[in-house]
Amino acid sequence: MAVHNLSIQNPNTTNITYFDPGVVKPTWWTTNNNDITASGSNCYYAPSGAAQLNFPGTNPPSTAYNQIKWDEKFTVYYKIQNNPCGGTFTYLVKGADVSDIKIDGNGINTAVTSLNLNSGIHTFVVSNSTCSFTFQFNIIGPIPLSWVNVIGQNPLCTNSQTGSINVSASGGTGTINYSINSPSGQFANLFAGTYVVTATDANGCTLTSSVTLTDPPALTGINITATNPLCTNSQTGSINVSASGGTGTINYSINSPSGQFINLLAGTYVVTATDANGCTLTSSITLTDPPALTGINITATNPLCTNSQTGSINVSASGGTGTINYSINSPSGSFTNLFAGTYVVTATDANGCTLTSSVTLTDPPSLNWSSITTTNPSCTPGNNGIIIPLTTGGTGQVSFTPRC
């Protein structure tokens, strides 16, 4: 078996390729024991020297590339360069009859490119309708960076800066530092969004991963049904609250000192809905008093005589809600034919709101005899008898009526 050495322009290359030209299906190998195999009965090859190529993206033109030529339909040029972060595999495939190019099983849709690869064994395949070129090569370098954990914690609440990202990587060289594309570079107190996380080792080698943080369902649609107090300054108002969205059970509170939702006075209340994550949604509601019962007016007429049931009370009030009814604490509930005394008058509106006032009926001065002086008639019969009555008390002029 004849062994021929390809002519290499750059004597420092590590990719000197040997071949056996006497076998249709040859086995190729390099000084670092990487295998090159060819398959297909119509595959032919011929040795060719190193090529001086003006490779895209290189200036000045790149130097030595190894060249493998198959069945006169396509030619492969390749070059391997190790670097602190792995290595670069640069290749050029010339020829129209190339149907498939793969690196490590992944298709590549270009006939010329330069690939940054991690250290380790890689497989490069070029195929056409009759021939397949398979080349295994080794990138010599440190253990590549790889992710151990990329964990995102979503924000607790919509539009809240409570998300976080925890990452760790292995491999690489020396200390590994981490960063994200947040303006502040922080990993905590993050809003929802997509973040690119980068791990960088001491050689400047990088590894990236994207993490998307999403907001939970927002607390929305807080609905409040309020019932105003029935009466002015009465603790009879109430508030009913409901909300949707959020996470888990929703609890409700108001800024009433007692935290109650019933027996409320008139006023403005801030209602808060809080979900299981502590997210809150607030709304305010104002309870108003109805028109107050005001201006209770009482017209009282005292009894005409002492201990007589001839007193009366007339009552009126304004404000309130609906029809106003009136009552006093007289046993009979009457407003006329009243004895002297103190009466509590109550005005009650349609909501049951009340306004009270007291009034006192007084008897006039009692009419009493002071004296009666009589003079008998001088003759019988006679009409010159005299009666002189004297009284005290009473009201106004006292009239006397004699009776036989």
Report angle CA 201, 207, 213 to the nearest 5 degrees.
Answer: 120
Q: Is 309 helix (H, G, I), strand (E, B) or coil?
A: coil
Write down the residue that tokens 């391997």 correspond to.
80
Q: Give the tens place of pLDDT for each residue, 252-303.
A: 888 654 456 888 999 999 999 999 999 999 999 999 999 998 888 888 988 8
pLDDT at 370 over 90: no
Write down the residue that tokens 């006075």 correspond to.
265
Radius of gyration of the chain, Cα coordinates, nearest whole angstrom: 56
- pTM for the structure as a whole: 0.58
- Evaluate the omega torsion of the peptide bond into residue 142 and state whether it is cis, within 30 degrees of 0: no
Q: Among the listed ranges 54-68, 104-118, 287-301, which one has the minimum average pLDDT value?
A: 54-68
Helix-strand-coil split of the chain, %, nearest 5? 0, 50, 50
CA distance 289 to 228: 6
Report angle CA 21, 22, 28 to the nearest 5 degrees.
Answer: 50
- pLDDT of 332 reads 42
Q: Which letter, b or e, does each residue of 182-218 get, where b requires 16 or more Cβ atoms within 10 Å of its Cβ?
A: eeeeebeebebeebebbbbbebebebeeebebebbeb
Over residues 98-102, the mean pLDDT reads 81
User: What are the C-alpha distances in Å from 276 to residues 224, 245, 260, 295, 339?
Assistant: 20, 11, 21, 52, 69
Q: Which letter, b or e, does each residue of 44-53 get, where b requires 16 or more Cβ atoms within 10 Å of its Cβ?
A: ebeeeebbeb
Q: Among the listed ranges 45-54, 220-229, 251-260, 323-332, which one has the minimum average pLDDT value?
A: 45-54
Phi and psi angles of residue 354, each rounded to the nearest 5 degrees, phi first: -125, 155
CA distance 66 to 72: 17
Largest Cα–Cα distance of the chain, in whole Å?
196
Kindly tell me the sign of the dihedral angle through the C-alpha atoms of 260, 264, 265, 269.
Answer: positive
Report how far Cα 255 is from the mean position of its chain's Cα atoms: 21
Query: Mean pLDDT, the chain, as a whole number?
Result: 75
- pLDDT of 280 reads 92
- pLDDT of 42 reads 41
Q: Among the listed ranges 104-118, 150-164, 235-249, which one has the minimum average pLDDT value?
A: 104-118
DSSP 157-189: STT-S-BEEEEEEE-SSS--EEEESSTT--SSS
pLDDT band at 73 (very low <50, low <70, confident <90, very high): low
Determine the number of helices (DSSP H) and then strands (DSSP E) in the chain: 0, 30
pLDDT at 131 over 80: no
| Most confidently predicted of 179-193, 242-256, 376-390 | 242-256
pLDDT band at 9 (very low <50, low <70, confident <90, very high): very low
DSSP state of 88: E
Task: Tell me what percent of the residues of the chain surpass a pLDDT of 90.
Answer: 25
CA distance 163 to 160: 8
Q: Are 34 and 137 in contact (CB under 8 A)?
A: yes
